[in-house]
Amino acid sequence: MSLDAAFSIARSGLAATQRALAQASQNIANAGTEGYTRKTVSNVSADYAGQPLGVRSAEARREVDLALLAERDGRGAAAAAASARESLLAGIEAVQGRPEDATSLGNALGSLREAFTTLRANPADPELARAALNAAQSVANRMQDAGQAIQTARQQAQDGIVTEVGRANDALRQIAELTRLISANRGAGRTTADLEDKRDLAISTLSETLPVRPLRQPDGGLVLMGRNGLTLPLPSAGEDILATDAAVAGPSSYYGTGGSLPGVRIGPLDVTRRILGGRLGEYVALRDQVLPRMQAEIDVSAVELAGRLDAQGLRLFTDASGNIPDRTLGYVGGGYAGFAQAIRVNSAVENNPAALRNGTHVVVAVTGGPSAFTPNPAGGPAGFVTLLDRVLDHSLGSTAADGNPWPGFPSAGLGPDGSLTSAIANARNLEDYATQLVRVHTQARAEATTAKDNATSMQQGIAARISKQSGVDSDAEMAAMVQLQNAYAANARVMSTAQAMWDALMGAVR
């Protein structure tokens, strides 16, 4: 081997070692950087015609399992969605309480029944009438609060859609810019490892809003596939891919034909129904399905309460105008939407608590329905109990009259557009329906909490596997640097020995 060849080989060894040292130093410096993955530099021996020419360093390579990254992002999307659902439903639960709470709607109706029972024992006592009136007001307050809590959550879901669309557009612009740089660097033969780390982090952020599956191209390009066949194009500079509008989500508002709530669009195409998972998909489901159904259930309880009392001769609950929805026309046709927020104690009864004993209007007997009733006249007997018996036995019971059961509580055709179905079935009376309502709503929050905890736990487990495979172990990097320093010293000795031989040769020539 010639001295020139020895010099060349030693120099290539020094250069390769320097690059490996620089990469190890970069790994250690970025050990705590979010999204950074450990990089390695491999060396390839070079030769020509059987003669060694030294080593060549390849581009830095990421130690990454793309399948694990995709699984992590999927679990992150599930955790983000469940967390959004839990947060909104927890606000409703805080107002409604749980079935066993003394302040729950079911228990408020139980207190109303007890107040009527006590009043029946002494119908002429004005204090007992006032106590029953207060119990009725408590029921109305509970329904108003629950209805308002649901509408607040629904508005939060609508606002969340607007926020998440903005976040998705920001992430898409970042992914598009990084993809452009990756493609350019690959075309120029430069390393793209750090840029790919940043792009993977941006994809993970996007997946929390809208789950995507990245299809990586050999030239560094990228195709983002959402669920349900949705493809997200990469935007040009400053472009928004997704669009929506701000709106007010009222009790009667809905998304769809004839509705006032906006969808999510890609260009002119409405993709709302194709958005599944992540916070964006969860907010859409909450706004359009979960919360309208919960609103419908509390509206049904309010309408049935007011209607069943009215059917027996006591218009105790009305809206501010003194009206109640028509129970014979169903949820949409009868104007149920938002009645729970509007319900109040009838001002005529507030001004005359004796109406709780006497009744407010004549009832004409209906086949299969309540029997006839005539209110107690103003000068009638103070011990009048006919109305109180009708309230206790029928309004708050399971029959409209002896032998005539009430029709079942509406469970289909619910929601502002009549497309929703309730999970509450076979309730025996108003108290039972209210108890089931609170239980179903509480269970929905509990299921969201469980889903969040499970998804978060699995995400953390996958993140630990990724960290073990792709994360930086500072101790291991320091040990590698010691080995590299020894290799550097060995190459340096080769060069110094070759230099000494060259000097000796030149001295002999002189």
Cα–Cα distance, 408 to 410 (Å, whole number): 6
DSSP state of 329: G
Amino acid at 72: R
Tell whether the model's pLDDT for residue 251 goes beyond 60: yes
Q: Over the stretch 131-159, which tens digit does the pLDDT of each residue have?
A: 999 999 999 999 999 999 999 999 999 99
pLDDT given for residue 35 in this prediction: 77
Tell whether the model's pLDDT for residue 282 goes beyond 80: yes
Contact 165, 244 (CB under 8 A): yes
Contact 240, 401 (CB under 8 A): no
- Band (pLDDT 50/70/90 cuts) for residue 496 is low
Cα–Cα distance, 441 to 108 (Å, whole number): 17
Tell whether the model's pLDDT for residue 167 goes beyond 60: yes
Q: How far is CA 12 from CA 40, 54, 352, 484, in A?
A: 18, 6, 102, 14
Contact 363, 372 (CB under 8 A): yes
Q: Over the stretch 341-391, which tens digit does the pLDDT of each residue have?
A: 999 999 999 999 999 999 999 999 989 999 999 999 988 898 999 999 999
Cα–Cα distance, 349 to 353 (Å, whole number): 5
Q: Which residues lie across from 213 on neighbouring strands? A: 225
pLDDT given for residue 423 in this prediction: 87
| DSSP states of 146-169 | HHHHHHHHHHHHHHHHHHHHHHHH
Residue in the structure block whose two tokens are 């004796």: 354
Tell whether the model's pLDDT for residue 21 goes beyond 90: no
Tell whether the model's pLDDT for residue 51 goes beyond 60: no
In whole numbers, what is the pLDDT of the chain averaged over residues? 88
- Domain positions in the chain: 3-63+471-509, 69-457
Tell whether the model's pLDDT for residue 16 goes beyond 80: no
Is 387 exposed, middle or buried, given 0-12, 13-18 or 19+ CB atoms closer than 10 A?
buried
Calculate mean pLDDT across residues 54-82. Answer: 83
Tokens of 20: 């490996």
Tokens of 474: 């500072």
Nearest to 296 by CA among 337, 255, 266: 337
CA 250 to chain CA mean position, Å = 20
Cα–Cα distance, 191 to 54 (Å, whole number): 22
User: HEC string of 70-122?
Assistant: HHHHHHHHHHHHHHHHHHHHHHHHHHHCCCCCCCCHHHHHHHHHHHHHHHHHC
Residue 124 host element (H or E): none
Residue 199 host element (H or E): helix 193-209
Cα–Cα distance, 113 to 432 (Å, whole number): 12
Cα–Cα distance, 475 to 253 (Å, whole number): 60
Nearest to 445 by CA among 92, 99, 150, 161: 92
Is 244 exposed, middle or buried, given 0-12, 13-18 or 19+ CB atoms closer than 10 A?
buried
Amino acid at 416: P
Q: Over the stretch 253-275, which tens digit does the pLDDT of each residue have?
A: 999 999 999 999 999 999 999 99
Q: Over the stretch 70-100, which tens digit does the pLDDT of each residue have?
A: 999 999 999 999 999 999 999 999 999 888 8
Q: Over the stretch 187-234, which tens digit does the pLDDT of each residue have?
A: 888 888 899 999 999 999 999 999 999 999 999 999 999 988 889 999
Contact 174, 377 (CB under 8 A): no
pLDDT given for residue 117 in this prediction: 97
Tell whether the model's pLDDT for residue 6 goes beyond 60: no
Q: How far is CA 283 from CA 106, 146, 166, 363, in A?
A: 29, 20, 14, 46
Cα–Cα distance, 156 to 30 (Å, whole number): 38
